[in-house]
Each structure stands twice: as structure tokens, then as C-alpha cells.
Structure 1
Amino acid sequence: MSPEHEALLILTREQFPELNDAPCEVEVILKGASDRHFYRLNWQDGRESMVLMVYTLARRDNPKFVPATHRLEKIGAHVPHVMAFDERRLCVWLQDLGRVDLQSFDQKPWAVRRPLYEATLREAAKFHAVGEVSLSDADLEELEPPFDEALYEWEQNYFLDHFVGGHLGREFGRDEYASAHEALKQLRRRLARLPRCLVHRDFQSQNVLIRGEDAWLVDYQGLRLGRAEYDLASLLYDPYVTLTRDERHELLRYYAVHRALDRDELHEVFHLCAAQRLMQALGAYANLSRNLGKPHYQQHIPAAVLNLTEVCRASPDLDPLRAFFEGGF
């Protein structure tokens, strides 16, 4: 066993003295683009495994994971239970939810996938039902800064700088893009005027674990106020999986019925949020692949561009955005 893993076991046994004599296999869990590190502790004496998360303070949302967990547990959302927390050493021991995520069902028939997506949407509905007016100032301090016009603009600039400029090599400040910039401005202003609720922020298939017929959520440290449709767009226009237009519409209808929402209004705001989310994702894929030494993220760019093209073509207000990216991956 490596010295690093030995050290992790020492820390673990300080938290759980009853495990002092239990042999353990430490398994590294490779997960996404995060600066956090995850380890599965497989106890060899028959005890249930646990997951150790070791985080840094490089990202402001990392310390928000534990309070976000407690908040989501209070409303009955399926999240991993925090078994122990060492704030000084930046370590969190968590219930092990297993290895099966929603993305792993991508090639299964729709009859198999649909109930899993419906279970995922039911989980989202639990925190989407928590509106801004129900939260106190103390509650808001535990969350990440809310979606507002400034954050929407930051996401848009992230897309312009890293994808349009960096990846596609386009000079997006030129006059020929004036209409597209105006569409960006109107998009962020329109979204910022809408009422807000709790949102996950990164609600995609890799962040949903499946246990039997139930969906469990992870990576929700970015919990904040925003639009529910942003989470829906993250899930239903997830470049990591393939959903047809009919399947997306079916799931939107299911969510609308489950929450007794107006379908037309939901669909309209969903498309606005889908454009916003897909631009953010393209900025992230370009930045990760070009600047952060993770070239495998480039493979997701074509699917995200196709999805963004479909969204923009469906709305006259969004159609000018195609000038930024059409004709290039």
C-alpha cells in the first residue's frame, strides 16, 4: 500500500476507532474534472465500504459540500450521508452509493432508461420546490452566489473566450457579431428577471447514481438559487449521453405534470436555459482540453454544438447566436 493510502487509513481510523484492526483496500475513484480526490475504502471484514473525499480550498464551492448535503437531507433528497467530517484536514467520509451512474445506461433501451430519468427528475423536483422567498439570509450564506445577470454574463464570456475565441479562433468582437452579442444580452437579462429556486448547477448524468430504481445525487456543492430549467437543460441536453427530441419532450412533460407546471411556459424557459447551459459547457470543454491538460473533453464538443444548434434554431430570439459557432467544432 502506498504511503498516501496508509496516511488516509490513519486519518480514517482516527474518526472510526472501531476500524483499527480491520484490513482495508483503498481504491482510487477517478471522477471528472474536479480538483477533489475520492477514495473507496473497502473493508475486508465484511463491513460496508465508505467513500473518502479529500478536497482543497482552490475552489470556493468545495467547502459548501457538507452544508449542502445537510440541507438536501432535510428536504428528503437522496444524497450520501456524511459519516464524518474533518474540516481542518479537508476530509469528508461518505456513505458509498455504489459505482453505477445514469450515464452508464446510455446504450440501454428507452424503456429501461425512462424510469431512471423520471426518478432523477423527481429528486430534482424536491429542491426545485424550495423557492427564494422561503430562504433566510443565513440560508443564503451557506449557498453559492445565485444566478443573476452577472453570473449569466460570466458564463457567456467563458463561452466566448474559451470556445469561440480559443477553440474556433474567431474574433467575436467584430461588428459582424453585433446581433449575436445583442441576443446574449437579452438572454441574460430575461433569465435574471425570472423567480429563482434551489438548483444543483451541474445536474448531468455522471452526477446521478442509480441504486435499484432510485436516483441519488452527488457533486451538488454548487447548490444555489437559479432556474429549475437550467438543471433540466443540464440533464436533457447532456453531451455525455444521447437523448432524442421525443425523449426530451417526454421527460419535460413528465416533470411538468409532476410539479403541476404550465407546459408551454416550462418549454419556453427550458430552451433559454438550454442555450445558456450549453454555452457554459462548451466553454468548459474548450478550457479543459486546451488549457488544463485534459484533451479527452474535446470529444464532447461536437455533441454540445449540435445540441446548441438545435436549441437556437427553435427560437427566433436565440437564432442570432449561431453566428458565433456555426460551421465549426
Structure 2
Amino acid sequence: MLPEHEALLIFTREQFPELDGTPCDVEVILKGASDRHFYRLNWQVGREPMILMVYTLARRDNPKFVPATHRLRKIGAHVPQVYAFDEQRLCVWLEDLGRIDLQSFNEHPWDRRFPLYQATLREAAKFHGVQESTLTPADVEELEPGFDEALYEWEQNYFLEHFVGGYLGRDCSGPEFATARETLRQLRRRLARLPRCLVHRDFQSQNVLIRGEDAWLVDYQGLRLGRAEYDLASLLYDPYVNLSMEERASLLSYYADHRALGLQDLREVFYLCAAQRLMQALGAYANLSRNLGKPHYEQHIPAAVFNLAEVCEEGQGLHELRAFFAGGL
């Protein structure tokens, strides 16, 4: 066993003295782009596996995972139980939700996938139902900074710097991009004026685990105030999976019915958020693949560009954004 794994087991047995002497296999879980490390502790006798998350303070949202877990469990959302938390060693021991995520059903027939997406949307509705007006200042302080015009602008600049400039090699500061830049400004201003609720922030298929027919959530440490449609766009325009326009429409309709929302109004804001989310994703894929030593993220760029092109056609006032990426791949 590797020395670092032996150290992790020492820490674990300090938290759970009853496991002292119980043999354990440490399995490294390789997934995601964050600076957190995950291990599955497979106890050989008398104990279900558990997950050990070891994080750093390099990202400001990492320490928010435990309070976000407690908040989500209070409203009945499906999230793992926290067995133990060592704040000094930056370790969290968690319930093992299994190995099957929503993305793994990508090649299954739609009649198999549809109920899993419905279950996922029902989970989202639980925290989307928590409106900003119901939260205290202390509640808000516990969350990550909410979506406002400044954060939307940061995401847009991330897209311009890393994807448009870095990946496509385009200088978009010239007059030929003036209309597209104004479209970005109008987009962030429109979104920032809308009421906010709790959102996951990274609500995509790899962050949804499937147990039976139920959906369970992970990687929600970015919980904050924002628009529900941003989460919906993250899921329904997820570049990691294939969804047709008809399938997206069915899921959006299901969500509207589940929450008793007007579908037309939901669709309008959904496309605005989809453009914003996909630009953020393209900035991330370009930055991760070009600058952070994770070249496998580049494979998701064509799907994200295809989705963004569709959104620019379907959404109101978004067509000019195509100038940033048209003909670029």
C-alpha cells in the first residue's frame, strides 16, 4: 500500500475507532477537474464502503461542501451523508453513493433515460424552490457568492479569453465584434435583473449519481443564488451527453409542469442561461486543455459549440453571439 494511503487509513481509524484492525483496500477515484481527491475505502469485513474526500484551500468553494451538504439534506435533497469531518486535515468521510452516474446511460434508449432525467429534475426542483427572499443574511453568507452582473461578466470574459482568444486565436476587441460584445452586455444585464433561488452551479450528468431509479447529487459545493434555468441549461445542454431538441423540450415541459411554471417564460430565460452556461463551459474546456494539462477536455469543445449555435438560433436576441465562434472549428 502506498504511504499516503496508509496515512489516510490512520486518519480514518482515528475518526472511526471501531475500524481499528479492519483490513481495507484504498481505491483512487479519478474523476473531474477539481483539486479535490477522492478515495473509496473498501472495508473487507462488516462495513459498507465509504468515500474519503481530501481537499485543498486553493479554491474558495471547497470548504463549502460540508455546509452545503447539511443545507441540502435539510430540504430533503438526495445528497450523501457526512460521516465525519476533519477541518484541520481537510478531510470529509462520506456515504458511498455508488459508481453509476447519469452520463453512463448516454447510449441507452430514451425510454430508459427519460425517467432518470425526470428524477434528476425533481431533485433540482427541491433547491430551486428555495427563493432568495426566504434566506437570512447568515444563510447567504454560508453560500458561494451569487450570480450577479459581475459574475456573469466574469464568465463571459473567461469565454472570450480562453476560447475565443486562446483556442480560436481571434482578437474580438475590434469594431467587427462590437455588436456581439453589446449582446453579451445585454445578456448579463437581463439575467442579473431576474429573481434568484438556490442553484447547484455545475448541474451536469457526471454530477448526478443513479441508485435504482433515484437521482443523487454530488459536487454541489458551488451552491449559490442564481437562476434555476442556469442549472437546467447545464443538464439539458450538457456537452458530455446526447440529447435531441425534442428530448430537451420534453424535459423542460416536465420541469415546468412539476413546478407549476409557465413554459413559455421558462423557455425564454432557459435559452439566455444556456448561452451563458455554454460560453462558460467552452472557456473551461479551452483553459483546462491548453493551460492546465488536461487535454482530454478538448474533445468536448465541438459538442459545446454545436449546442451554443443551436441556442443562438432558438433564443431571443442571441444570434449576434455567433460572430465569436462561427466557422472557427
* 2-structure distance, mates of 1:154, 1:7: 39
Superposition pairs for residues 157-236 of structure 1, below 5 Å? 157-236=157-236
1:58 maps to which residue? 58
Q: How many Å apart are 1:314 and its aligned residue?
A: 1.5
Residue type matched to 1:288 in 2? Answer: L
Question: Per the alignment, in what secondary structure is the counterpart of residue 79 of structure 1?
Answer: coil
Gaps in structure 1 of 5+ consecutive residues:
none
Q: 1:10 aligns to what SS in structure 2? A: helix
Q: Distance in 1 between matches of 2:256 and 2:52?
A: 37
List per-residue Cα deviations over 1:157-181 (Å, max 9, x = no partner).
0000000000000001011000000
Answer yes or no: is 1:237 the counterpart of 2:237. yes
Structure 2 distance, partners of 1:237, 1:316, is 17
Task: Determine the C-alpha separation between the residues in 1 that align with 2:249 and 2:200.
Answer: 21
Matching of residue 120 in structure 1 with residue 149 in structure 2: no
Q: Percent identity?
A: 79
* Distance of 2:209 and 2:31 partners within structure 1: 13
Residue matched to 1:99: 99
The answer on whether the counterparts of 2:207 and 2:219 sit within 8 Å (CA) in structure 1 is yes
Residue of structure 1 equivalent to 2:315: 315
Please give the secondary structure, in 2, of the residue aligned with 1:45: coil
Question: What's the secondary structure of 2:31's corresponding residue?
Answer: coil
Distance in 2 (CA, whole Å) between partners of 1:77 and 1:24 is 30
Give 1:62-101 correspondences, 5 Å limit. Answer: 62-101=62-101
Q: How far, CA to CA, are the matches of 2:34 and 2:236 in structure 1?
A: 22
SS at match of 1:176: helix
Q: Letter of the aligned partner of 2:296 in structure 1?
A: H
Do the aligned partners of 2:183 and 2:321 also contact (CA within 8 Å) in 1? yes
The 3-state SS of whatever aligns with 2:124 is: helix
Does the CA-based 8 Å contact 2:167-2:286 persist in structure 1?
yes
- Work out the CA distance in 2 between the residues paired with 1:46 and 1:101: 26
Deviation at 1:49, TM superposition (A): 0.3
SS of the residue corresponding to residue 172 of structure 2 reads coil
| TM-score, with structure 2 as normaliser | 1.00
Equivalent residue of 1:56, what SS?
A: coil
- Corresponding residue of 1:31: 31
SS at match of 2:78: coil
Find out whether 1:278 has 2:278 as its counterpart.
Answer: yes
SS in 1 for 2:323: helix
Q: Deviations over 1:141-200 (max 9, x none)?
A: 110000000000000000000000000000010110000000000000000000000000
Runs of 4+ with deviation above 4 angstroms = none
Structure 1 residue 26 displacement after superposition: 0.1
**How many residue pairs were aligned?**
329
In structure 2, what is the Cα distance between the partners aligned to 1:29 and 1:323? 40
Q: Is the 8 A contact 2:268 2:316 kept in 1?
A: no
User: Cα deviations across residues 221-260 of structure 1 (Å, max 9, x unaligned)?
Assistant: 0000000000000000000000000000000000000000
**Offset of 1:46 from its aligned partner?**
3.3
* 2:298 partner letter: Q
Q: Equivalents in 2 of 1:240, 1:271: separation in Å?
A: 19
Separation in 2, partners of 1:194, 1:114: 30
Unaligned 5+ runs, structure 2: none
**Partner residue, 1:262:** 262
Counterpart CA distance in 1 for 2:322 and 2:93 is 45
Deviation at 1:316, TM superposition (A): 4.7
CA contact (8 A) 2:101 2:205 kept: yes
CA shift for structure 1 position 47: 1.1
Offset of residue 315 of structure 1: 3.0
Q: Which residue of 2 aligns with 1:16?
A: 16
The normalised TM-score by structure 1 is 1.00
**Partners in 2 of 1:260 and 1:142 — Cα distance?**
29
Shift of 1:21: 1.4
Q: Which amino acid aligns with 1:150?
A: A
- Superimposed CA distance per residue, residues 76-126 of structure 1 (whole angstroms, 9 cap, x where no aligned partner): 000000000000000000000000000000000000000000000000000
In structure 2, the partner of 1:253 is 253
Shift of 1:31: 1.3
Q: Secondary structure at the match of 1:25?
A: strand
2:301 is aligned with 1:298: no
AA in 2 matched with 1:17: P
Give, as a single letter, the amino acid of the residue that structure 1 aligns with 2:40.
R
Across the aligned residues of Structure 1 and Structure 2, the Cα RMSD in angstroms comes to 0.5
Q: In 1, distance between residues paired with 2:20 and 2:9?
A: 9
